[in-house]
Amino acid sequence: MHELVRRLYPLCRSITGDGVRATLDIVGEYLPLQVREVPTGTRVLDWTVPQEWNIRDAYVADASGRRVVDFAASSLHVLGYSVPVHRTMPLSELRAHLYTLPEQPDLVPYRTSYYQPQWGFCLSQNTLDALPDGDYEVRIDSTLADGHLTYAEHVVPGQVTDEVIVSCHTCHPSLANDNLAGIAVATFLARELAEQQPYYTYRFIYAPGTVGAITWLARNRVERVKHGLVLACAGDRGPLTYKRSRRGDAEIDRVMRYVLVNSERPHSTHDFTPYGYDERQYCSPGFNLGVGSLTRTPYAAYPEYHTSGDNPDFVSADAMADTLAVCREAFAVLDRNRHYVNQSPYGEPQLGRRGLYDSLGGRSDAKEAQLAMLWVLNLSDGTHSLLDVAERSGLPFDTVGVAADALRDAGLIKA
């Protein structure tokens, strides 16, 4: 995963353009993608697909021709969606087009101007302070023209067509935690699920933030989406953070709480707010999907956020592995969580003559497994899920799931 982050880091991504396509080409080496192209001008809910932006080169050069700000060194150096410009101007005029972080003078900020035609450069405050007065050549070799918005999907088929979506944004340029780590974790999670035979169908969405998620929602049958997770900021060294869906009690919310609490990992959970990543699109009131958001340190809550400090050395391979492990554990619970009905509800059914007690012989956890069977039988009234059983009994979910499988195979419970 860390190697994938490093490969993707130099590319200049935005909400449209060749940088997004190049990103998806690389992800496509890891798993097959269905790439979608939506033309400029297409109406998507209350939005319109914008013109496509591409950039080849950009710089600010002093009188000697030395590039004091160079897009080739970092894609962060250009204001995203800058219109083309090639002029010579004094520093006093140029300053209006320069963006810095005075409170973090060593870092280059990430700035965009998607829907207002502007141009500009981002640089460190230290670099700006070192520029002498005089004339500077300014060039941004970019194009804004009719084209496409590009997003991609990878689908892991399940036993049913009900879907779990996993969404990550592909619009940020050289920012490793936000959101290349999310892309990497999603990609390797998809690879793991593809080696299994999951109950749900899992749809992985790689789309530009906001307008990309809105485009996906406008073009797809969302009634199939039963659960979902937005992945972002998945690689920093902070503790895990889960943001609940707008519903607050969606099944994914309960599953994530259960997994995080029982894993004893440091973590925090927060209620939904209509600010953040694309969970706010999936949870908009017209859709109100059961989609939560998993990050480590939340957006805007770490000093490197949206700066050049968010580089591949900032993200940790161990942290990405831990985020992947939590996703794996949560989806294992989500995928097995069912409601059952006891087919012999009047008194306790005789388990011995069905060989269910014999099947426990020699197991070190035989007593726990037997107890799990009794709990599943007692709470299988059609209103309690296996997660309810695990929470009420205090038994591990996997133990409850194994008991349910045995009881189902014996004909004692029915989904």
DSSP codes, 228-258: EEEE-S-SSSSPEEEE--SSSS-HHHHHHHH
172 marked ligand binding residue: yes
Q: Rounded to the nearest 5°, which phi and psi values hold at 127?
A: -65, -45
| 190 close to 34: Cβ distance less than 8 angstroms | no
Give the DSSP H or E segment for 216: helix 211-219
Please indicate if the annotation marks 77 as binding a ligand: no
Nearest 10 degrees: Cα torsion 96, 100, 105, 109 = -170
Closest CA to 144 of 23, 46, 11, 14: 14
- Placement of tokens 């199939």 in the chain: 224
Query: What b/e sequence results for 124-157 when a residue is b if at least 16 CB atoms lie within 10 Å of its CB, and e otherwise?
Result: bbebbeebeeeebebbbebebeebbbbbbbbbbe
| DSSP 8-state secondary structure symbol assigned to residue 110 | P
Determine the Cα angle at 48 with ends 44 and 54, to 5°.
Answer: 120
Locus of tokens 């990878």: 154
The torsion defined by the Cα of 207, 210, 211 and 212, in degrees rounded to 10, comes to 10
Residue 86, annotated ligand binder?
no
DSSP-assigned letters across all residues of 290-320: -EEEEESSPTT-STTTTBTT-STTTS-HHHH
CA 60 – CA 372 distance, rounded (Å): 69
For residue 179, cis peptide bond before it (omega within 30 degrees of 0): yes
Contact in structure between 366 and 372 (CB atoms under 8 Å): no
Residue 234 in contact with residue 242, Cβ under 8 Å?
no
Instruction: Give 389-397 contacts, CB < 8 A, sequence gap 24+.
Output: 390/258, 391/258, 395/368, 395/371, 396/262, 397/258, 397/262, 397/333, 397/336
- Sign of the Cα pseudo-torsion (250, 254, 257, 260, in order): negative
Closest CA to 184 of 163, 164, 206, 156: 206
Binding residues: 172, 178, 306
Binding residues for Zn(2+): 172, 178, 306
